[in-house]
Structure 1
Amino acid sequence: MSKIALITGITGQDGSFLAEFLLEKGYEVHG
């Protein structure tokens, strides 16, 4: 089962950093 992350403010500096980090960890990222 894949892990899914929902990030609010994904277009901001912190949100994009967090999205990249989670993608590397195998998460499915939405935002």
Structure 2
Amino acid sequence: SCCPGWSATARSQLTATSASQVQAILLPQPP
């Protein structure tokens, strides 16, 4: 990897995406 920060950024985005999906499943928002 050329950029050390890329890993942290990618992990952050993946974590945010996973958290959003979990919230959507556990806490469905009203339409």
Q: Which band: TM-score by shorter chain?
A: 0.3 to 0.5
Determine which structure has greater relative contact order: mean sequence separation of CA pairs < 8 Å that are 6+ residues apart, divided by chain length.
1
More strand by share: 1
Q: What's the TM-score once normalised by structure 2's chain length?
A: 0.47
User: Which has more radius of gyration?
Assistant: 2
Q: What's the TM-score once normalised by structure 1's chain length?
A: 0.47
More helix by share: 2
